[in-house]
Chain A
Amino acid sequence: QDMQEKETVTPERAEEVKLKAKYPNLGQKPGGSDFLMKRLQKGQKYFDSGDYNMAKAKMKNKQLPSVGPDKNLVTGDHIPTPQDLPQRKSSLVTSKLAG
């Protein structure tokens, strides 16, 4: 397919001009290491174990910790799941006499 480069800009180049007009700070090379490293981390969700366990402690239905069925088949260091962690007793035990 012939591209008449002297007179018309290729559709791709026209789109590039549009993009650079919208985002003037866009890096030159999209294939650079910054871009790829962002790609490698794309979709990784950060998880705060403190927040998570606080939220679980507030839940009405207590889930008993239980060993997953695969525990015997996991090799190496087992990545713990929340269910594997022992339930932490709350620090303050309310007296049943409290109103």
Chain B
Amino acid sequence: NKTPSHSRGEYNVYSTFQSHEPEFDYLKSLEIEEKINKIRWLPQKNAAQFLLSTNDKTIKLWKISERDKRPEGYNLKEEDGRYRDPTTVTTLRVPVFRPMDLMVEASPRRIFANAHTYHINSISINSDYETYLSADDLRINLWHLEITDRSFNIVDIKPANMEELTEVITAAEFHPNSCNTFVYSSSKGTIRLCDMRASALCDRHSKLFEEPEDPSNRSFFSEIISSISDVKFSHSGRYMMTRDYLSVKIWDLNMENRPVETYQVHEYLRSKLCSLYENDCIFDKFECCWNGSDRQVYIVMTGSYNNFFRMFDRNTKRDITLEASRENNKPRTVLKPRKVCASGKRKKDEISVDSLDFNKKILHTAWHPKENIIAVATTNNLYIFQDKMN
């Protein structure tokens, strides 16, 4: 199953645009940051690309289109756009399209505002390609892509008395095939699956996924590190993957009482939780992703610290740690696997836990939907890696 070889050239920026501007809520004297929390592509329907981007409060639908030709040869206009004196026109010609340098234009098509009191953490497009959900810490809203002045609240976990608040929503996603089904994860490590056919307000879950905790292992940190930072359905929709602070878990939708697989991302951090709490790193939100839709291979990928990222092969149970950094990798060379030494004697080429740079975190990774090409984001750089050619 050899795929045709793709170009091994360098990547250039395709388009850059400002999606959100900082805003001010004068009533509450709060600044609303322009920082983008999530971006989701819509399935492509025509030549243009559409994406949803969101900051803490407002979601926007952007159209990104290419222009690679322009009309030339108007009768009433000069090439620079000035109008000609009609009395000087003595012949008529038919304007034609001529190629021009590629221009990529981004234009906002819809703005979905004023529906969230708390900070939006997730957006997810439904498989019906008509609706999408947006989730903040306490509520989830359902939107229609064409309608900006109305939104339906489908989950509300805000308690009547805020003193009774025990958990918040951390991520939400629609099922890839069932347009009535979505899941949301919580800061307590649970995932709830909801069916929109059951009721208008899905406060009662259809399924609750939770791994039982060993009470004797409980510590001050237990709940914090169990908080789920990302949830992603598999392409088939049979499984879902969750990322908590130290691990990646694979759940079978048919089994609620425990995950079917658990992969340790950086277990050596368990004995560093005190300092990770002090420097706030324990609250870092790592994402996770599945490989593309290759039916025979199941790999999950997630980031870590020191610009490391990890991949776990579900079939072979093998895992690998790689590094995204310019100093340690020459372009076009195969990445060398890395190893962290938890304690004791450090072997050559291993890195000790204490020399990890916790400011170099990889929170976002993405896998090409069809090819073995991955994108890995460090703090200031984007790395694109591809499978080595045999």
Contacts and interface: CB of A to CB of B under 8 A. Distances in A.
A58 interface: no
A62 interface: no
Given A73-B108, A75-B148, A81-B23, A14 B271 contact: yes
Interface stretch (B1-9, B27-35, B42-50): B27-35
A33 B61 CA distance: 35
B166 interface: yes
Interface in B128-185: 137-138, 148-149, 162-168
A19 to B, nearest CB: 5
Contact of B118 (A19, A40, A68): A40
Given A5-B216, A70-B108, A75-B149, 4 more contacts: A11-B273, A40-B137, A46-B31, A79-B26
Contacts of B167: 31, 36
B219 A36 contact: no
Interface of A: 3, 5, 10-16, 18-20, 22, 26, 30-33, 36-37, 39-40, 43-49, 52, 68-70, 73-77, 79-82
Contact of B113 (A10, A20, A26, A75): A75
A32 B165 CA distance: 7
Interface size class on chain B is 35 or more
Complex A-B, nearest 5 residue pairs according to Cβ-Cβ distance, in ascending order: A11-B271, A75-B149, A15-B273, A12-B219, A47-B31
Interface of B: 21, 23-26, 29-33, 108, 110-111, 113-114, 118-119, 137-138, 148-149, 162-168, 187-188, 216-217, 219-224, 270-274, 277-278
Given A18-B274, A73-B148, A76-B149, A36 B187 contact: yes
B270 A45 contact: no
6 contacts: A30-B224, A36-B167, A73-B110, A79-B25, A79-B113, A80-B26
